[in-house]
């Protein structure tokens, strides 16, 4: 064990700039994975990650690199998620490293999460190795990217590695730059054990496995350990390195990155960010940075078939074993029956979980429009947190309502500043400031409600800037807003699962647009269905769905059974995501229509 030959680093980038492709190339070039076995993007192990081409959970891999100086180095490469929902995992991964390779796409230049991730790496005191990727593309402008890195981020980029992760050009230069520029880990091998947990997952055969960075001391099979934040104690069943196949080792020592089999059964006992020490004679000083992750976005999930409540519960239990950020509680809706209110880190996290529930567990679900957590102060000054619009007390009992605000950073070419202003002001954004990062990139800072962000804001931002804008945000705090609950009534009855909370000044317009939209989405029934939007009993808008005129089967003359069956089957398929509410059939789109506003 020679710490001077260890290099621990992350690769950070804006989404799609090529981080995972670059990791693959590094594994290939160092011989950790033979080209023949090379499955594209080996580090993205979850199916959904592969399909969507995004990294959700971080991963760590150890490779050996024989450098031009003739020495062999141990590289620990820690892959990080690129999406803003998973920022917390990025910061934990960075805390396990001494260096970070900052990947910038030569055709896109510096984008919002390039800035956010570079800031995080600088705050963690990491040595940054800039890399300009995709130089094989005709549209590549490496010089422009270099200027943006220097002017916008204040990172010297004269020696930035020019690379194509696709063809492999420049990857060798990168590995040499890592050897020379990333510092070797420092730490006290003889001191009391301190290791940082930067990821943990549940393995059905071995219990919870943690990915750790040993900062001081060493850790071996049979040691008795204590997690400093959670207080949990456990016996080490195995330690080792992922190369990327797991290789058991006698010990992990100061400077090493590896895995630890804990035998524990619940990931919430092995929290990301927690410090591991020995149960007796251990360290008293935890490593910095432990923080509970808090869900920001909530939605109701209801099984379409009534008998799937238990399977849904079991599926959520299974998924939470691996995902401490996923929280849920049972919820009853008058309209939809029994289901769950589920909390997520953000919209992407939500989509991924919904997709996994359907795909891996075969569930057929109906999701209500996502909402945020409101703080409602009652007249007696007592505060209640709401995760669901249905829980909002009567307005007469409310003193004030506060909602979560975000600090939002948008990077955009100067031509589109006006479009961003218009859109963001219409979303109740408060403009803070604007800086030129370079002649071609403007940084705009705003504060805006999270509740507006989840209403399709990102898609609109992209479309109003021809795709040029990039976005990053963080939680800013709770602020008072004039909010009301907008109810949707079908045939005169309020449908709890369709109501949502909205700013008072927007209720009228939204009510009008929404009733019109629902008229187009809800299919005709055998009878007339009035649709109304109302706030506190006052109707703001009304539309009517006319009764169906003819039976579908009326078209089939004679006894053409097969045609009839086909027609019925087709109907059934269309019904897939419908739910009978009262006696009206409401499709899934009706719930999502609340989020899409023009």
Cβ-based nearer residue to ligand GTP, 142 or 258: 142
Binding flag, residue 21, ligand GTP (CB under 6 A): yes
What contacts 24+ positions apart, CB below 8 Å, involve 520-526?
521/587, 521/589, 521/590, 521/593, 522/490, 522/584, 522/585, 522/586, 522/587, 522/590, 523/574, 523/585, 523/587, 524/548, 525/583, 525/584, 525/585
Binding flag, residue 18, ligand GTP (CB under 6 A): yes
Cβ-based nearer residue to ligand GTP, 112 or 227: 112
Contacts of 396 (CB under 8 A, 6+ apart): none
Cβ-based nearer residue to ligand GTP, 88 or 416: 88
Q: Which of 3, 45, 136, 377 binds ligand GTP (CB under 6 A)?
A: 136
* Rounded least distance, CB 81 to ligand GTP, Å: 7
**Which residue is at the shortest CB distance from ligand GTP?**
82
Q: Which of 1, 3, 16, 516 binds ligand GTP (CB under 6 A)?
A: 16
Cβ atoms of 449 and 425 within 8 Å: the answer is: no
CA angle 287, 289, 291 (to 5 degrees): 125
Cβ-based nearer residue to ligand GTP, 54 or 490: 54
Binding flag, residue 131, ligand GTP (CB under 6 A): no
Binding flag, residue 133, ligand GTP (CB under 6 A): yes
Rounded to 10 degrees, the C-alpha dihedral 174/179/181/187 comes to: 140
Nearest to 511 by CA among 597, 430, 591: 597
Specify the stretch interacting with ligand GTP by CB under 6 A; choose among 59-67, 84-92, 162-170, 316-324.
162-170
Which residue's entry shows tokens 């509410």? 581
Q: List the 72-79 sheet strands across, edge first.
A: 59-66, 72-79, 6-13, 99-105, 127-133, 161-162
For residue 64, the cross-strand partners are 74
Distances (CA, A) of 480 to 361, 372, 396, 402, 404: 40, 14, 17, 4, 9
d(CA 327, CA 311): 17
Cβ-based nearer residue to ligand GTP, 43 or 254: 43
* Rounded least distance, CB 61 to ligand GTP, Å: 14
Cβ-based nearer residue to ligand GTP, 137 or 425: 137
What contacts 24+ positions apart, CB below 8 Å, involve 489-493?
489/530, 489/531, 489/532, 489/533, 489/534, 489/539, 490/522, 490/529, 490/530, 490/531, 490/581, 490/582, 490/584, 490/586, 491/529, 491/530, 491/582, 491/583, 491/584, 492/530, 492/532, 493/582
d(CA 335, CA 287): 49
| Number of shown-chain residues binding ligand GTP (CB under 6 A) | 19
Binding flag, residue 58, ligand GTP (CB under 6 A): no
Cβ-based nearer residue to ligand GTP, 166 or 313: 166
Binding flag, residue 13, ligand GTP (CB under 6 A): yes
Which secondary structure element, helix H or strand E, spans residue 209, and what is its range?
strand 207-216
Specify the stretch interacting with ligand GTP by CB under 6 A; choose among 53-61, 319-327, 402-410, 510-518.
53-61
* Rounded least distance, CB 173 to ligand GTP, Å: 14
Q: Which of 165, 211, 411, 489 binds ligand GTP (CB under 6 A)?
A: 165
Binding flag, residue 53, ligand GTP (CB under 6 A): yes
Cα dihedral sign for 472, 478, 482, 486?
positive
For ligand GTP, the binding residues in 60-89 under the rule CB under 6 A are: 82
Percentage helix, strand, coil, to 5, in the chain? 30, 35, 35
Pairing of strands 383-386, 257-261: unpaired
d(CA 403, CA 494): 24
Specify the stretch interacting with ligand GTP by CB under 6 A; choose among 163-171, 210-218, 310-318, 376-384.
163-171
* Rounded least distance, CB 594 to ligand GTP, Å: 28
Asked whether residue 19 is marked as a ligand-binding residue, the answer is: yes
For ligand GTP, the binding residues in 387-426 under the rule CB under 6 A are: none
> CB neighbours (10 Å) of residue 511?
22
Asked whether residue 173 is marked as a ligand-binding residue, the answer is: no
Binding flag, residue 533, ligand GTP (CB under 6 A): no
Token pair for 363: 């569930």
d(CA 559, CA 124): 75
Binding flag, residue 54, ligand GTP (CB under 6 A): yes
Cβ-based nearer residue to ligand GTP, 118 or 225: 118
Specify the stretch interacting with ligand GTP by CB under 6 A; choose among 51-59, 222-230, 544-552, 587-595.
51-59
Cβ-based nearer residue to ligand GTP, 19 or 387: 19
* Rounded least distance, CB 337 to ligand GTP, Å: 37
Nearest to 7 by CA among 73, 60, 67, 96: 73
Binding flag, residue 185, ligand GTP (CB under 6 A): no
d(CA 37, CA 74): 22
Binding flag, residue 59, ligand GTP (CB under 6 A): no
Cβ-based nearer residue to ligand GTP, 93 or 464: 93
Binding flag, residue 164, ligand GTP (CB under 6 A): yes
**DSSP for 275-307?**
EEEESSS--SSPPS--------EEEEEEESSGG
Which secondary structure element, helix H or strand E, spans residue 22, and what is its range?
helix 19-29
Cβ-based nearer residue to ligand GTP, 168 or 337: 168
* Rounded least distance, CB 598 to ligand GTP, Å: 29
Cβ-based nearer residue to ligand GTP, 133 or 269: 133
Asked whether residue 519 is marked as a ligand-binding residue, the answer is: no
* Rounded least distance, CB 17 to ligand GTP, Å: 5
* Rounded least distance, CB 24 to ligand GTP, Å: 8
Binding flag, residue 343, ligand GTP (CB under 6 A): no
* Rounded least distance, CB 123 to ligand GTP, Å: 20
Binding flag, residue 442, ligand GTP (CB under 6 A): no
Binding flag, residue 166, ligand GTP (CB under 6 A): yes
Which residue's entry shows tokens 């456990």? 234
Q: List, as residue ranges, the binding site.
A: 16-21, 133-136
Q: Which spans of this chain sit near ligand GTP (rule: CB under 6 A)? A: 13, 15-21, 53-55, 82, 133-134, 136-137, 164-166
Q: List, as residue ranges, the binding site for GTP.
A: 16-21, 133-136
């Amino acid at each position: 064990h020679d710490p001077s030959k260890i290099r621990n680093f992350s690769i950070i980038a804006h989404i799609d700039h090529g981080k995972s492709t670059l990791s693959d190339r590094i594994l290939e070039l160092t011989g950790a994975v033979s080209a023949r076995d090379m499955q594209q993007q080996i580090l993205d192990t979850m199916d959904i990650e592969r399909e969507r081409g995004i990294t959700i959970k971080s991963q760590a891999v150890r490779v050996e690199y024989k450098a031009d100086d003739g020495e062999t180095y141990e590289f620990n490469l820690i892959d990080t998620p690129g999406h803003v929902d998973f920022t917390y995992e990025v910061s934990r991964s960075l805390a396990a490293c001494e260096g970070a390779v900052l990947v910038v796409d030569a055709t896109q230049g510096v984008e919002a999460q390039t800035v956010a991730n570079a800031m995080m790496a600088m705050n963690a005191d990491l040595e940054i190795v800039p890399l300009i990727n995709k130089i094989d593309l005709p549209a590549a402008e490496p010089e422009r990217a270099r200027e943006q890195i220097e002017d916008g981020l204040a990172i010297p980029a004269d020696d930035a590695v020019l690379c194509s992760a696709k063809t492999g050009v420049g990857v060798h230069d990168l590995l040499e730059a890592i050897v020379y520029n990333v510092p070797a880990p420092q730490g006290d091998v003889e001191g009391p054990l301190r290791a940082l947990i930067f990821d943990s997952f549940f393995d059905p055969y071995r219990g919870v496995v943690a990915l750790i960075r040993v900062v001081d001391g060493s850790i071996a099979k049979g040691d008795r350990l204590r997690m400093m934040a959670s207080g949990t104690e456990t016996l080490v069943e195995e330690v080792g390195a992922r190369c990327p196949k797991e290789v058991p080792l006698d010990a992990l020592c100061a400077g090493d990155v590896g895995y630890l089999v804990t035998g524990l059964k619940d990931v919430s006992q092995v929290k990301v960010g927690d410090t591991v020490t020995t149960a007796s004679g251990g360290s008293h000083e935890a490593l910095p940075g432990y923080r509970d992750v808090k869900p920001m976005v909530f939605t109701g999930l209801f099984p379409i078939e009534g008998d799937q409540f238990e399977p849904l519960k079991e599926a959520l239990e299974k998924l939470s074993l691996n995902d401490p950020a996923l929280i849920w509680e049972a919820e009853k809706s008058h309209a939809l029956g029994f289901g769950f209110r589920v909390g997520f880190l953000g919209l992407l996290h939500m989509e991924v979980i919904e997709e996994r529930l359907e795909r891996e567990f075969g569930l057929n679900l109906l999701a209500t429009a996502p909402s945020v957590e409101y703080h409602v102060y009652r007249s007696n000054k007592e505060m209640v947190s709401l995760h669901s619009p249905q829980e909002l007390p009567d307005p007469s009992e409310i003193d004030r309502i506060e909602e979560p605000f975000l600090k939002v950073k948008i990077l955009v070419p100067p031509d589109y500043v006006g479009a961003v202003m218009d859109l963001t002001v219409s979303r109740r954004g408060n403009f803070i400031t604007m800086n030129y990062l370079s002649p071609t990139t403007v940084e705009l800072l705003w504060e805006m409600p999270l509740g507006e962000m989840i209403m399709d804001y990102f898609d609109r931002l992209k479309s109003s800037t021809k795709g040029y804008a990039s976005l990053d945000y963080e939680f800013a705090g709770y602020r008072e807003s004039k909010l009301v609950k907008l109810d949707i009534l079908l045939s005169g009855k309020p449908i709890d699962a369709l109501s949502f909370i909205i700013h008072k000044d927007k209720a009228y317009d939204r009510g009008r647009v929404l009733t019109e939209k629902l008229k187009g989405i809800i299919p005709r029934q055998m009878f007339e269905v009035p649709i109304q939007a109302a706030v506190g009993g006052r109707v703001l808008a009304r539309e009517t769905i006319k009764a169906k005129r003819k039976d579908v089967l009326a078209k089939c003359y004679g006894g053409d059974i097969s045609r009839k069956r086909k027609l019925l089957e087709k109907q059934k398929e269309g019904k897939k995501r419908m739910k009978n509410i009262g006696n009206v059939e409401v499709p899934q789109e009706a719930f999502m229509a609340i989020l899409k506003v023009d």
